[in-house]
Structures are given as structure tokens and as C-alpha cells.
């Protein structure tokens, strides 16, 4: 996913940045609805795990076009599997 596309989607979902940045890494973005925040890398192109993590971390809906929603569904399934596995190992 292109970073510009992700930024447009974040803004449509009520997210914003106040310009805070981690030097040479990325920019901090906030979800004004739920208070979640996430670092958005400065890279022009974001790989599937990266943009899915941003969407997951900010707790917003993924874009519905271009298959991004199905990528996100796979990512969420993986995260849930990891969570359940970690819980099982604790008991």
C-alpha cells in the first residue's frame, strides 16, 4: 500500500498527526475517536504486515477496495491465534 493512500484513509477514519516524529523512522498518528496511537513509517510503500498493523493498532476499519480488507482479515486471524497461544502457554 502506498503511504499516501494509507494517510488519506487514516484521515477519512478520523485519525490525525500533530507532526510528532521518531527521527528517520515515522510519524505518530492518533485516532481521535478512541485515543489509540501508532507510528506510521516514512517509507513510500508499506508492506502488508506494516499497514495491517497500523490499522489494527489504531482500531479502524481497513479500506474495502483492492483486497486490503482481506489482507487485514488474515492479519487479525494471525494476531488472534498468537493471543490464544500465549494464553494457553500461561496456564
Count: domains in the chain? 1
Q: What are 47-87's pLDDT values in tens digits?
A: 989 999 999 999 999 888 777 778 888 888 888 888 889 99
The whole domain housing 44 covers 3-90
- Which residues have a Cβ under 8 Å from the Cβ of 10 and sit 6 or more positions away? 16, 29, 40, 54, 58, 60
pLDDT for position 67 = 74
Q: What are 6-52's pLDDT values in tens digits?
A: 999 999 999 999 888 888 889 999 999 999 999 999 999 999 899 99
Q: What pTM does this model have? A: 0.81
Amino acid at each position: 500500500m502506498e503511504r499516501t493512500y494509507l494517510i488519506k484513509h487514516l484521515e477519512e477514519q478520523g485519525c490525525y498527526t500533530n507532526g510528532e516524529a521518531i527521527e528517520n523512522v515515522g510519524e505518530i498518528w492518533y485516532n481521535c475517536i478512541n485515543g489509540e496511537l501508532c507510528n506510521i513509517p516514512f517509507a513510500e510503500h508499506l508492506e502488508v504486515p506494516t499497514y495491517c498493523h497500523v490499522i489494527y493498532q489504531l482500531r479502524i476499519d481497513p479500506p474495502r477496495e483492492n483486497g486490503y480488507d482481506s489482507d487485514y482479515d488474515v492479519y487479525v486471524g494471525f494476531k488472534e491465534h498468537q493471543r490464544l497461544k500465549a494464553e494457553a502457554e500461561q496456564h
